[in-house]
Amino acid sequence: MARRDGAAPAVSLSRRLRRSVAAKAAAPHEELLTYWLHRELARTQPARSLDRIHASDVTNQREQWCPKRHALLQLTGKRALPERMSTADDVVFSQGNGLATLMVNAMARAGMAWGDWVCTACGRVETFAKRPKHCNCAAVRHSFRYQEVRVVSQESGISSGLDLLIEMPGSTKLWVVEIKTYAKEKFKKLHAPLAEHSERTKLYLRGVEESNHPQADMIRTDEAIIIYISKGGWGMKDTRPREWGLADLWSPFKEFRVSRDDEAIQEYVDAATPLWHWQSGRAGLPSGVCPNSLCRRAKGCEVFDACFGGDYPAGSHRKDPA
């Protein structure tokens, strides 16, 4: 049927779909949704920025952090190896991020959550505040995305992203809250925070005090909260909500208080400080962590040649690439 404007009739959606399918015969696995999900979710992503000394890197329990590697990557301009993200990794991280967002939004509705808030319409950031209700931009409806407050220790250079700041009743200062998600199979047996999480949170408390953040004095630095959220399932039976006048009999949360302990995290401060001093021109290159050039880690390092080639010895002040 011809169109009134004289143009050729549009090809119907169903005809275009049939032509697209006929153009290429599908392999058996291409007819499975699972294949396409694995293909799209599994990927490599660039390594984290070297602009910061991340607290999570310094406290990594799986591989000792190397300050010389960090320095040489910056100095030589070499790129850190990309990180491989499997499909399972992506799903797990997405679950964790989703649960953390759920908690932040719940605390924002309660009027207790503090942080930086980004207007999703114009990108304007309301810093160190409770979630705004309005933005001055022209958008008809306003919504805000939470952005964690970041502090940098002026003693060690360690950068800490604070998951959440909470205004607790009865407290004159904001609480640092570290949000963690945990496998439902292990949740019931969790009786204390994991060592890596506890040490990192202690590092955050020290980092707040040593930072030059303009609102640092509004945050308490003697104690923090680590809260675990069960990934899947009901969590575990908990009679306390009923005692509080609420309806729930199960809870997916486990809450722990962590006291500041500078001595317990001094090794991480000692590891990061030489890099911080080198970056600010107060000291030479920091030392590495490999015992020699023959160890497995050294052989796989991106800056192996620079580290063991003699051009960049520890303590040197060289600032130009070889």
Tell whether the model's pLDDT for residue 162 goes beyond 60: yes
Spatial distance between the Cα atoms of 226 and 258, rounded to a whole number of angstroms? 7
Tell whether the model's pLDDT for residue 251 goes beyond 90: yes
Q: Positive or negative, the Cα torsion across 302, 306, 309, 312? A: negative
In a domain, 253, yes or no: yes
Q: Residue 59 region, left (φ>0) first, then alpha (ψ -120 to 50), else beta?
A: alpha
Q: What's the confidence (pLDDT) of residue 199?
A: 96
The answer to whether 69 and 307 are in contact (CB under 8 A) is: yes
Q: What's the confidence (pLDDT) of residue 14?
A: 72
- Its pTM stands at 0.87
- What are the pLDDT digits (tens) for 140-156? 888 999 999 999 999 99
Question: What's the average model confidence in pLDDT over 118-135?
Answer: 95
In a domain, 296, yes or no: no
Total H helices, total E strands in the chain: 11, 14
In a domain, 197, yes or no: yes
Question: What's the average model confidence in pLDDT over 74-102?
Answer: 93
Lowest pLDDT segment from 41-50, 163-172, 192-201: 41-50
Q: What's the confidence (pLDDT) of residue 23?
A: 58
State which of 8-12, 132-136, 252-256 shows the largest mean pLDDT. 252-256
Tell whether the model's pLDDT for residue 81 goes beyond 80: yes
Tell whether the model's pLDDT for residue 322 goes beyond 80: no
Q: Of 168, 296, 188, whose CA–CA distance to 234 is shortest? A: 188
Range of the domain at 161: 89-263
In a domain, 215, yes or no: yes
What percentage of the chain exceeds 90 in pLDDT?
79
Tell whether the model's pLDDT for residue 275 goes beyond 80: yes
Spatial distance between the Cα atoms of 204 and 207, rounded to a whole number of angstroms? 5
Residues whose CB falls within 8 Å of the CB of residue 305, separated by 6 or more in sequence, listed in order: none
Q: What's the confidence (pLDDT) of residue 27?
A: 86
In a domain, 64, yes or no: no
- What are the pLDDT digits (tens) for 8-65? 555 677 776 566 655 567 788 888 999 999 999 999 988 888 999 999 999 999 999 9
Distance of CA 192 to CAs 168, 188, 198, 258, Å? 22, 11, 9, 10
Question: What's the average model confidence in pLDDT over 279-299?
Answer: 93
Compare 305 and 16 and report the one with higher pLDDT: 305
Q: How many domains does the chain have?
A: 1
In a domain, 286, yes or no: no
Q: What is the DSSP string of 78-129?
A: PPPPPEEE-HHHHHHHHHHHHHHHHHHHHHHHTT-EEEEEEETTT--EEEEE
In a domain, 213, yes or no: yes
Q: What's the confidence (pLDDT) of residue 243?
A: 96
In a domain, 11, yes or no: no
Q: What's the confidence (pLDDT) of residue 139?
A: 87
Beta strands in the chain (DSSP E): 43-45, 53-54, 83-85, 113-119, 125-130, 144-147, 149-152, 158-162, 164-166, 175-183, 223-231, 236-237, 250-251, 253-259
Say what angle helices 266-279 and 67-76 make with each other, to 10 degrees: 20
Q: What's the confidence (pLDDT) of residue 12?
A: 72
What is the three-class DSSP state of 157? Answer: coil
